[in-house]
Amino acid sequence: MPSMLVTVNISKGFKTWTDMAKKMQDYAGSEGAKIVWAATNPDETAVYVMMDVPNPEFMQTFGLREDVKKAREEAGADVASTTVITPIKEYWLGD
């Protein structure tokens, strides 16, 4: 399963974004995706997310679905700012 490092600008803070992401977990999981970790910058205007995805196109096919897009926007995500930083080959989460 490929992994992707993605960023998106947010306007309602990290907690609001993570609350939305937690609600979407089961739904995304049923599509074969999983958030590995998420972090924010110090002023909570951007989120960085590492996801395991079923295929590289997942970010478009799932992330831009009208129902998903609406939930993301309501949580303060600037959906148009979503950017894939890089595919991830391997990762280590530390001990």
pLDDT tens digit sequence for 11-37: 999 999 999 999 998 888 888 899 999
Q: Model-level pTM?
A: 0.88
User: For residues 95 and 91, what is the distance between their CA atoms, to the nearest angstrom?
Assistant: 13
What's the pLDDT score for residue 81? 96
Contact call for residues 89 and 4 (beta carbons, < 8 A): no
The residue written with tokens 């930083």 in the block is: 85
- Residue 44 confidence (pLDDT): 98
The architecture of the domain spanning 3-88 is 2-Layer Sandwich (3.30)
For residue 3, the model assigns a pLDDT of 93
Among residues 31, 72, 38, 37, the alpha carbon closest in space to that of 53 is found at 31
What's at 45, amino acid-wise? T
Model pLDDT, residue 23 = 93
List the structure tokens of 67.
């129902």
Residue percentage of the chain with pLDDT more than 90? 71
Contact 38, 24 (CB under 8 A): no
